[in-house]
Amino acid sequence: MTDTERQDLYTEVNELLDIYNEFSPCQPDGKSNIEAVKPCITEMIDYIMKDSTEAASMKDWLDHTDFWTAPASTRFHGNFKGGLSLHTLMVIKQSLEFAHSVLENFYTSPAAPNYTVRAYDIFVAALCHDFCKTGFYGVEYRNTKDITGNWIKQPFYKTLNDNRNLGHGNESVLMMIEILPSIINNRMVIEAVSRHMGFSDLSDSETFNYSNFLQNPLVILLQLADQTAAQWFGM
């Protein structure tokens, strides 16, 4: 990766962080403004996706799924309306925040000449990492008593149909490729989304070559961002 490419990378990373800070959807005290999530992500897409067809395809997909309203889980981080999009934005933000330290460390490694990382790659991997959760959860109701002892219907999220036979990460990869066909040639992003869950989303046979994926700096960056973003919710 040339010095110019590295400079362009960090310039665009900082521009994306400026967009995030402009909307400030998440505060250090844990409070969040769900209404700011969509315009923030949309402006990021318009900035970093230079191909207008790609940008339009991505925004159309987001608007025609339940991405903006779905939870990120049923019991853990982001288990509320809009939790998926908020968690995704936090992963984007964390990826951008950690980019410099993770990548500068990577550039001292023997594998450095094999990878040229762009801000576009970081953003797309973070944005798409949990796409498989769209259309995945539904609302059901259970009978419970309120503080006065009266029975009420309490809503809760439940998995509709867990048919992700390829695994969490790989199902998101398939959806990403459908939206952005050109990403099929970007192995670095595909590996990052595929392996963002670490060992928890691998079959027994896949664990044997897992160390090979860790040579990809975007795999490390996305795993770190996803874990720290989930912890940010305190759930």
pTM attached to this predicted model = 0.86
| Token code pair at residue 226 | 């996803």
- Does residue 91 have a pLDDT over 60? yes
Q: Which residue has the higher pLDDT, 132 or 156?
A: 132
**pLDDT at residue number 2:** 84
Which whole-number Å values give the CA distances from 231 to 22, 77, 109, 203, 226, in the listed order? Answer: 23, 8, 29, 25, 9
Confidence of residue 167 (pLDDT cuts 50, 70, 90): confident
- Does residue 235 have a pLDDT over 50? no
Which of 190, 152, 199, 157 shows the shortest CA–CA distance to 171? Answer: 190
Mean pLDDT over residues 137-162, rounded?
65
Cβ–Cβ under 8 Å, residues 207 and 76: no
Tally the C-alpha atoms within 13 A of residue 108's C-alpha that lie toward its C-beta.
5
Which of 58, 76, 60 shows the shortest CA–CA distance to 159? Answer: 76
**pLDDT at residue number 78:** 59
Residues ≥6 apart with Cβ < 8 Å to 181: none
- Does residue 174 have a pLDDT over 90? yes
**pLDDT at residue number 200:** 54
Mean pLDDT over residues 21-30, rounded?
83
Q: How far apart are CA 138 and CA 186, in angstroms?
A: 33
Mean pLDDT over residues 45-50, rounded?
97
Cβ–Cβ under 8 Å, residues 91 and 221: no
- Does residue 55 have a pLDDT over 60? yes
Q: Which residues pair with 75 in a beta bridge?
A: none
| Token code pair at residue 40 | 């923030």
Highest-confidence range of 15-29, 71-85, 133-147, by mean pLDDT?
15-29
**pLDDT at residue number 31:** 78
Q: How far apart are CA 72 and CA 78, in angstroms?
A: 5
| Token code pair at residue 209 | 């070559």
Cβ–Cβ under 8 Å, residues 218 and 122: yes
